A and B are shown apart, each in its own frame.
Chain A
Amino acid sequence: AQSVAQPEDQVNVAEGNPLTVKCTYSVSGNPYLFWYVQYPNRGLQFLLKYITGDNLVKGSYGFEAEFNKSQTSFHLKKPSALVSDSALYFCAVRDRGNRDDKIIFGKGTRLHILP
Protein backbone atom coordinates (compact mmCIF):
# COMPACT_ATOMS: atom_id res chain seq x y z
CA ALA A 1 0.00 0.00 0.00
CA GLN A 2 1.07 3.55 -0.66
CA SER A 3 1.10 6.29 1.95
CA VAL A 4 2.45 9.77 2.48
CA ALA A 5 3.13 11.58 5.74
CA GLN A 6 3.59 15.28 6.24
CA PRO A 7 4.55 15.45 9.90
CA GLU A 8 4.00 19.17 10.36
CA ASP A 9 0.54 20.70 10.14
CA GLN A 10 2.06 24.18 10.01
CA VAL A 11 5.49 25.69 9.40
CA ASN A 12 6.38 29.30 10.20
CA VAL A 13 9.37 30.93 8.56
CA ALA A 14 10.61 34.52 8.51
CA GLU A 15 10.77 36.16 5.11
CA GLY A 16 14.21 35.77 3.57
CA ASN A 17 15.06 32.65 5.58
CA PRO A 18 15.33 29.20 4.02
CA LEU A 19 12.28 26.98 4.29
CA THR A 20 11.76 23.24 4.45
CA VAL A 21 8.46 21.36 4.30
CA LYS A 22 8.86 17.71 5.22
CA CYS A 23 7.44 14.64 3.49
CA THR A 24 8.02 10.94 3.98
CA TYR A 25 6.49 8.17 1.93
CA SER A 26 5.89 4.44 1.85
CA VAL A 27 5.50 2.35 -1.28
CA SER A 28 6.15 -1.29 -2.02
CA GLY A 29 8.19 -0.49 -5.12
CA ASN A 30 9.91 2.62 -6.40
CA PRO A 31 8.12 5.95 -6.15
CA TYR A 32 7.12 8.81 -8.29
CA LEU A 33 6.93 11.84 -5.97
CA PHE A 34 5.16 15.17 -6.39
CA TRP A 35 4.70 18.49 -4.64
CA TYR A 36 1.67 20.73 -5.12
CA VAL A 37 0.68 24.12 -3.70
CA GLN A 38 -2.83 25.37 -2.95
CA TYR A 39 -3.80 28.99 -2.42
CA PRO A 40 -7.07 29.78 -0.56
CA ASN A 41 -10.23 28.61 -2.34
CA ARG A 42 -8.26 27.47 -5.38
CA GLY A 43 -7.29 24.18 -6.94
CA LEU A 44 -3.86 22.63 -6.50
CA GLN A 45 -0.96 23.73 -8.65
CA PHE A 46 1.85 21.36 -9.60
CA LEU A 47 5.31 22.45 -8.35
CA LEU A 48 7.70 19.62 -9.18
CA LYS A 49 8.16 15.88 -9.42
CA TYR A 50 10.80 13.22 -8.97
CA ILE A 51 10.99 10.47 -11.55
CA THR A 52 14.55 9.17 -11.52
CA GLY A 53 18.13 10.37 -11.69
CA ASP A 54 19.33 13.46 -9.85
CA ASN A 55 18.07 13.46 -6.28
CA LEU A 56 17.65 17.25 -6.29
CA VAL A 57 14.66 18.31 -8.34
CA LYS A 58 14.04 21.93 -9.28
CA GLY A 59 10.55 23.26 -9.84
CA SER A 60 8.39 26.33 -10.14
CA TYR A 61 8.76 29.58 -8.16
CA GLY A 62 12.29 28.74 -6.97
CA PHE A 63 11.26 25.60 -5.09
CA GLU A 64 13.31 22.42 -5.07
CA ALA A 65 12.99 19.04 -3.41
CA GLU A 66 15.50 16.44 -2.36
CA PHE A 67 14.78 12.75 -2.80
CA ASN A 68 16.40 10.54 -0.17
CA LYS A 69 15.77 6.87 -0.80
CA SER A 70 17.32 5.58 2.43
CA GLN A 71 15.17 7.90 4.53
CA THR A 72 12.15 7.58 2.20
CA SER A 73 11.82 11.34 2.22
CA PHE A 74 11.11 14.06 -0.33
CA HIS A 75 11.41 17.38 1.51
CA LEU A 76 10.47 20.62 -0.24
CA LYS A 77 12.94 23.49 0.10
CA LYS A 78 13.50 27.07 -0.92
CA PRO A 79 16.64 29.09 -0.13
CA SER A 80 14.86 32.37 0.62
CA ALA A 81 11.17 32.52 1.54
CA LEU A 82 8.75 35.14 0.26
CA VAL A 83 5.52 36.24 1.94
CA SER A 84 3.75 35.15 -1.24
CA ASP A 85 4.90 31.56 -0.58
CA SER A 86 2.34 31.36 2.23
CA ALA A 87 -0.04 28.58 1.20
CA LEU A 88 -0.98 24.95 1.76
CA TYR A 89 1.53 22.44 0.41
CA PHE A 90 0.80 18.83 -0.48
CA CYS A 91 3.22 15.98 -1.06
CA ALA A 92 2.01 13.05 -3.17
CA VAL A 93 3.32 9.63 -4.17
CA ARG A 94 2.63 7.01 -6.78
CA ASP A 95 4.09 3.50 -6.81
CA ARG A 96 5.67 2.92 -10.23
CA GLY A 97 4.42 -0.63 -10.17
CA ASN A 98 0.76 0.36 -10.10
CA ARG A 99 -1.13 0.25 -13.37
CA ASP A 100 -3.82 2.64 -12.23
CA ASP A 101 -3.29 6.39 -12.33
CA LYS A 102 -3.96 7.02 -8.68
CA ILE A 103 -1.63 9.10 -6.59
CA ILE A 104 -1.84 9.41 -2.81
CA PHE A 105 -1.76 12.85 -1.22
CA GLY A 106 -0.53 13.80 2.22
CA LYS A 107 -2.74 15.83 4.54
CA GLY A 108 -0.95 19.04 3.71
CA THR A 109 1.32 21.49 5.53
CA ARG A 110 0.33 25.10 5.94
CA LEU A 111 3.29 27.39 5.37
CA HIS A 112 3.28 30.85 6.94
CA ILE A 113 5.95 33.28 5.85
CA LEU A 114 6.26 36.09 8.38
CA PRO A 115 7.17 39.55 7.08
Chain B
Amino acid sequence: DGGITQSPKYLFRKEGQNVTLSCEQNLNHDAMYWYRQDPGQGLRLIYYSQIVNDFQKGDIAEGYSVSREKKESFPLTVTSAQKNPTAFYLCASSRGSGTGAYEQYFGPGTRLTVT
Protein backbone atom coordinates (compact mmCIF):
# COMPACT_ATOMS: atom_id res chain seq x y z
CA ASP B 1 0.00 0.00 0.00
CA GLY B 2 3.19 2.04 -0.31
CA GLY B 3 3.14 5.66 0.64
CA ILE B 4 -0.58 6.15 1.25
CA THR B 5 -2.10 5.92 4.69
CA GLN B 6 -5.74 5.86 5.60
CA SER B 7 -7.06 6.07 9.09
CA PRO B 8 -8.78 4.58 10.87
CA LYS B 9 -9.01 1.06 9.44
CA TYR B 10 -12.45 0.53 10.96
CA LEU B 11 -14.92 3.26 11.82
CA PHE B 12 -18.32 3.02 13.46
CA ARG B 13 -20.84 5.84 13.56
CA LYS B 14 -24.44 6.43 14.43
CA GLU B 15 -26.83 7.46 11.70
CA GLY B 16 -27.11 11.23 11.37
CA GLN B 17 -23.50 11.95 12.30
CA ASN B 18 -20.92 13.34 9.90
CA VAL B 19 -17.63 11.46 9.80
CA THR B 20 -14.27 12.33 8.24
CA LEU B 21 -11.93 9.75 6.73
CA SER B 22 -8.26 10.59 6.56
CA CYS B 23 -5.96 10.06 3.56
CA GLU B 24 -2.30 11.08 3.45
CA GLN B 25 0.35 10.37 0.81
CA ASN B 26 4.10 10.92 0.82
CA LEU B 27 4.62 10.09 -2.86
CA ASN B 28 4.56 13.72 -4.00
CA HIS B 29 1.66 12.85 -6.30
CA ASP B 30 -0.46 15.60 -7.78
CA ALA B 31 -3.71 13.67 -8.18
CA MET B 32 -5.76 12.04 -5.42
CA TYR B 33 -8.99 10.07 -5.49
CA TRP B 34 -11.69 8.67 -3.27
CA TYR B 35 -13.55 5.49 -4.21
CA ARG B 36 -16.32 3.56 -2.60
CA GLN B 37 -16.32 -0.23 -2.88
CA ASP B 38 -19.45 -2.32 -2.36
CA PRO B 39 -19.65 -6.08 -2.96
CA GLY B 40 -20.19 -6.89 -6.62
CA GLN B 41 -20.07 -3.25 -7.74
CA GLY B 42 -16.39 -2.66 -8.21
CA LEU B 43 -14.98 0.77 -7.44
CA ARG B 44 -17.07 3.89 -7.83
CA LEU B 45 -15.43 7.30 -7.91
CA ILE B 46 -16.63 9.79 -5.30
CA TYR B 47 -14.30 12.78 -5.75
CA TYR B 48 -10.92 13.43 -7.27
CA SER B 49 -8.39 16.23 -7.18
CA GLN B 50 -5.73 16.98 -9.77
CA ILE B 51 -4.13 19.85 -7.89
CA VAL B 52 -4.17 21.55 -4.51
CA ASN B 53 -7.27 23.65 -3.80
CA ASP B 54 -9.17 22.06 -6.67
CA PHE B 55 -11.36 18.97 -6.82
CA GLN B 56 -14.04 17.47 -9.03
CA LYS B 57 -17.12 15.38 -8.39
CA GLY B 58 -17.01 11.78 -9.44
CA ASP B 59 -19.92 9.51 -10.23
CA ILE B 60 -21.42 9.31 -6.73
CA ALA B 61 -20.54 12.60 -4.98
CA GLU B 62 -23.92 13.23 -3.36
CA GLY B 63 -23.68 13.13 0.43
CA TYR B 64 -19.89 13.48 0.45
CA SER B 65 -17.50 16.41 0.66
CA VAL B 66 -13.72 16.80 0.33
CA SER B 67 -10.96 19.37 0.71
CA ARG B 68 -7.45 19.58 -0.76
CA GLU B 69 -5.60 22.23 1.23
CA LYS B 70 -2.28 20.40 1.08
CA LYS B 71 -0.76 18.27 -1.66
CA GLU B 72 -0.33 15.30 0.63
CA SER B 73 -3.79 15.27 2.23
CA PHE B 74 -7.27 14.64 0.82
CA PRO B 75 -9.82 14.01 3.62
CA LEU B 76 -13.32 12.77 2.82
CA THR B 77 -16.36 13.71 4.91
CA VAL B 78 -19.35 11.42 4.79
CA THR B 79 -22.31 13.59 5.69
CA SER B 80 -25.66 12.65 7.15
CA ALA B 81 -27.12 13.27 3.69
CA GLN B 82 -25.48 10.12 2.35
CA LYS B 83 -28.29 7.59 2.25
CA ASN B 84 -26.27 4.40 2.51
CA PRO B 85 -22.83 5.22 3.89
CA THR B 86 -21.79 1.75 5.09
CA ALA B 87 -19.03 0.66 2.71
CA PHE B 88 -15.30 0.18 2.20
CA TYR B 89 -13.63 3.46 1.25
CA LEU B 90 -10.41 3.57 -0.72
CA CYS B 91 -8.11 6.52 -1.26
CA ALA B 92 -5.63 6.58 -4.14
CA SER B 93 -3.06 8.86 -5.68
CA SER B 94 -1.22 9.14 -8.97
CA ARG B 95 1.39 11.36 -10.55
CA GLY B 96 -1.41 12.64 -12.78
CA SER B 97 -1.15 15.66 -14.98
CA GLY B 98 -4.06 15.31 -17.36
CA THR B 99 -2.01 13.17 -19.72
CA GLY B 100 -0.04 9.98 -19.44
CA ALA B 101 -0.78 6.47 -18.32
CA TYR B 102 -0.18 7.02 -14.63
CA GLU B 103 -1.24 4.13 -12.47
CA GLN B 104 -2.95 4.78 -9.17
CA TYR B 105 -1.54 3.78 -5.81
CA PHE B 106 -4.06 2.78 -3.19
CA GLY B 107 -4.23 3.06 0.56
CA PRO B 108 -5.32 0.13 2.76
CA GLY B 109 -8.90 1.38 3.01
CA THR B 110 -11.32 2.36 5.76
CA ARG B 111 -14.35 0.23 6.49
CA LEU B 112 -17.17 2.48 7.66
CA THR B 113 -20.20 1.05 9.40
CA VAL B 114 -23.15 3.30 10.16
CA THR B 115 -25.97 2.02 12.36
Residues of A with Cβ closer than 8 Å to B?
Answer: 9, 32, 34, 36, 41-46, 49-51, 90, 94, 96, 99-103, 105-108
Collect the chain A residues with CB atoms within 8 Å of residue B109's CB.
Answer: 41-43
Tell me if B111 is interfacial: C-beta within 8 Å of chain A.
yes
Query: Which A residues are CB-close (under 8 A) to B108?
Result: 42-43
Chain B interface residues toward A at CB < 8 A: 1, 4, 6, 31, 33, 35, 40-43, 45, 48, 50, 56, 58, 88, 90, 92, 94, 96-99, 101-109, 111
In the complex, what residues of B have CB within 8 A of residue A32's CB? 101
**CB-CB < 8 A to A108: which residues of B?**
42
Tell me the nearest residue of chain B to A32, going by C-beta. Answer: B101
| B36 CB to nearest A CB, Å | 11
- Output the least CB separation between B105 and chain A (Å): 7
Taking CB as reference atom, which chain B residue is nearest A99? B98
Residue contact A45 to B106, C-beta cutoff 8 Å: yes
| A99-B98, A100-B56, A102-B48 known; A43 vs B107 contact (CB < 8 Å) | yes
Given contacts A100-B50, A101-B50, A102-B58, contact A107 B107 (CB under 8 A): no
Those 3 A-B pairs whose CB atoms lie nearest each other, nearest first: A43-B106, A32-B101, A107-B42
- Interface centre among A34, A105, A107, by most chain B C-beta atoms within 10 angstroms, is A105
* Cβ contact within 8 Å between A103 and B1: no
CB neighbours (8 Å) of A9 from chain B are 40
Complex Cα distance A90/B92, Å? 15
**Which residues in A have their C-beta under 8 angstroms from that of B4?**
43
Cα–Cα distance between A50 and B58 once the two chains are bound (Å): 24
Residue pairs across A and B with Cβ atoms less than 8 A apart, 29 shown, are A9-B40, A41-B88, A41-B111, A42-B1, A43-B1, A43-B106, A43-B107, A43-B109, A44-B43, A44-B92, A44-B106, A45-B1, A45-B106, A46-B103, A46-B104, A51-B101, A90-B42, A94-B101, A96-B101, A100-B48, A100-B56, A101-B33, A101-B48, A101-B98, A102-B48, A105-B42, A105-B43, A107-B40, A107-B41
